[in-house]
Structure 1
């Protein structure tokens, strides 16, 4: 079997194992990408999750000796949930982004890449391969763009004609010199809907993202989320889909054919309050199979607190008060102080005043003081009309008694 025949056989085999798109490109360095990454670092736009070594991110030959080609793959995931549960007062729900629905895509893509590796080595025993998904050194998006999987859109996603931007990406470096595919033409045109709709302004210009402002990144951090972003997070407990759902290229792209990614509605849109009391073991048992669990329970619990504040869910106040008094994690206590201030019940106000007496973390104290100050101002504004009426009548009585 010559290289051309092998390439065709790989395409056919890939389809048979559930790979939705496959493309080929050279293992030449990604020079333009390196320039962009340097600029991203200079501007402080990196998330910190990326590979630090820019050479490894842009030079495939550093990752596999005698690298000749890269095989890019894409597997579509659903954009629509069947039987989506609806939250209500007392039973509020959060939401995981679509990329975290169903089985963890890292597991699925790695398994299918391993099958593809075995197929190649069976036909070319001397072949050398190195596969990666998401957490590898190379930029999945840059590889997919050059291999013709789709174009790199203004929302920093790869958009495919068949599945929109709802695709997971992976790649395999190999020493086999396959014929490269042609990159696709950019079809975003003059559209700026994703830039306009981004809740935090994280999309600076088309194709440039300030990850430190991106909700998808913020929901994965383990530290306190800056106050300017909390209201904008809404009920998202992991990730953000706004720049995808607004995209015209994603209209009517439902992608329901991959059974492994069909969501369990109770996991994709979980009740918020039960999340607060999960132990590490319980969290792993419940959410461990979805990609959104990779950072552990702490970020999800913090995000659930923010979501309850978004709904001003008074039913959650007793549990939040208990956590404020007993939770050993300053990030949780500080977030709860802000949340109780947003919900605005007297029970929360009294609890915060008590906690301020004993709280020894300076950051939590700041959150408590701001929340209490906000509460007092609200109370003052609520009674201000009554005070003004009393003063007005006192003046009139004084005037009439003269």
Structure 2
């Protein structure tokens, strides 16, 4: 088998099926990443969504029999919406992060990897492959970095010279000994804009993220949001783009190569108030195809309430009072109470006073009292 020829054929086929960048690396353990992950664990910086076994995350031989190499792929996604809708007073909008525009990227990349796998198996008898995107054991960023896709930026994203950091990543372990590509030199230099712009200080230092403080993580949780973070979320419904938007390597970057990644403006930047009333069925019909829906409607609705408070949107008060009175979920009642306190007004105050007498959930009650405290602060001022 001519490995050099096969590699060229794989690269050519990847371009044919719309893979924007491809790289190859060995199946050796990711020793440097292992140390980073151990340190993350010691500092309690993990999100909790990751594979728990660090060894599986860094050692391909533990998840694949006889690995010889890993193929990394990257697909560029759009960074801008043409004629985006704008929220106005009385009709506010939230926003999904760019990585959640268009169809769920997990499905898009898995399909590309499946096509690549079929091609390789047709070329090589006995070829074996294992593909993964995001939720697999290996760390996508570590594979992409070593395979020469890009360098790992200070914001913990892979940054490519061609597409900036607006790329989805996936990889495939194989039993074919492809020649490895050369990793890329770090090109961040002295720049620290991403660290400085992070709303919550989640970027602790270059290349180290405290995931528990990252808004991208917080918007995906289902419980009550700490007051500190409620003040920082703004109108984000899912994810956060701040550290990418500020990056000089992303200046002027906006590629529209894949039709399935094109955003529907009304889904990428939806109106907030209707989200408070959306049913499970409606949520799945409208948002089910985007990656930002994977945790269900609860986090999105809670974040919509926080966004309405951010705007101090008085027109939403009746809807928030309805949530406070009727929603069966303590997180929604409590968050609505906090929002009503932030927005203010006599109607909101009366609703909170009544709710304080009726509420039986201790955490929701605590939020109601926080909402009422805003009125006392305003009186003191």
Q: Same fold (TM over 0.5)?
A: yes
Matched, 1:103 2:106: no
Partner of 2:206: 206
Partner of 1:366: 366
Partner of 1:144: 144
2:341/2:373 contact within 8 Å kept: no
For residues 113 and 178 of structure 2, the distance between their equivalents in structure 1, rounded to whole angstroms, comes to 17
Partner of 1:192: 192
Partner of 2:174: 174
Q: Determine helix, strand or coil for the equivalent of 1:83.
A: coil
Q: Determine helix, strand or coil for the equivalent of 2:86.
A: coil
Alignment of 1:210-221 (within 5 A): 210-221=210-221
Alignment of 1:315-334 (within 5 A): 315-334=315-334
Per the TM alignment, residue 32 of structure 1 is displaced from its structure 2 partner at its CA by 1.0
Per the TM alignment, residue 90 of structure 1 is displaced from its structure 2 partner at its CA by 1.2
Q: Determine helix, strand or coil for the equivalent of 1:145.
A: helix
For residues 359 and 367 of structure 1, the distance between their equivalents in structure 2, rounded to whole angstroms, comes to 10
Partner of 2:157: 157
For residues 372 and 64 of structure 2, the distance between their equivalents in structure 1, rounded to whole angstroms, comes to 58
Per the TM alignment, residue 336 of structure 1 is displaced from its structure 2 partner at its CA by 0.7
Aligned residues: 381
For residues 73 and 244 of structure 1, the distance between their equivalents in structure 2, rounded to whole angstroms, comes to 20
Q: Determine helix, strand or coil for the equivalent of 1:84.
A: coil
Partner of 1:262: 262
Partner of 1:7: 7
Q: Determine helix, strand or coil for the equivalent of 1:302.
A: helix
For residues 22 and 33 of structure 1, the distance between their equivalents in structure 2, rounded to whole angstroms, comes to 21
Please report the TM-score for the alignment, with normalisation by the length of structure 2.
0.99
Partner of 1:390: none
For residues 107 and 370 of structure 1, the distance between their equivalents in structure 2, rounded to whole angstroms, comes to 42
Q: Where do 5+ consecutive residues of structure 1 fail to align?
A: 382-402
Alignment of 1:113-128 (within 5 A): 113-128=113-128
Matched, 1:135 2:135: yes
For residues 26 and 166 of structure 1, the distance between their equivalents in structure 2, rounded to whole angstroms, comes to 25
Find runs of 4+ consecutive structure 1 residues off by over 2 angstroms: none
For residues 371 and 273 of structure 2, the distance between their equivalents in structure 1, rounded to whole angstroms, comes to 21
Per the TM alignment, residue 380 of structure 1 is displaced from its structure 2 partner at its CA by 3.9
Partner of 1:385: none
Per the TM alignment, residue 2 of structure 1 is displaced from its structure 2 partner at its CA by 1.3
Partner of 1:19: 19
Matched, 1:41 2:41: yes
For residues 76 and 2 of structure 1, the distance between their equivalents in structure 2, rounded to whole angstroms, comes to 31
Q: Deviations over 1:310-347 (max 9, x none)?
A: 11111111011011011010111111111001101111
Partner of 1:386: none
For residues 99 and 227 of structure 2, the distance between their equivalents in structure 1, rounded to whole angstroms, comes to 26
Partner of 1:69: 69
Partner of 2:357: 357
Please report the TM-score for the alignment, with normalisation by the length of structure 1.
0.94
Q: Deviations over 1:186-228 (max 9, x none)?
A: 0000000000000000000000000000000000001111110
| CA root-mean-square deviation | 0.7
Alignment of 1:304-343 (within 5 A): 304-343=304-343
For residues 351 and 45 of structure 2, the distance between their equivalents in structure 1, rounded to whole angstroms, comes to 39
Partner of 1:249: 249
For residues 282 and 166 of structure 2, the distance between their equivalents in structure 1, rounded to whole angstroms, comes to 30
Q: Deviations over 1:275-306 (max 9, x none)?
A: 11111111000000100000000000000000
Partner of 1:58: 58
For residues 374 and 102 of structure 1, the distance between their equivalents in structure 2, rounded to whole angstroms, comes to 39
Per the TM alignment, residue 353 of structure 1 is displaced from its structure 2 partner at its CA by 0.2
For residues 127 and 362 of structure 1, the distance between their equivalents in structure 2, rounded to whole angstroms, comes to 58
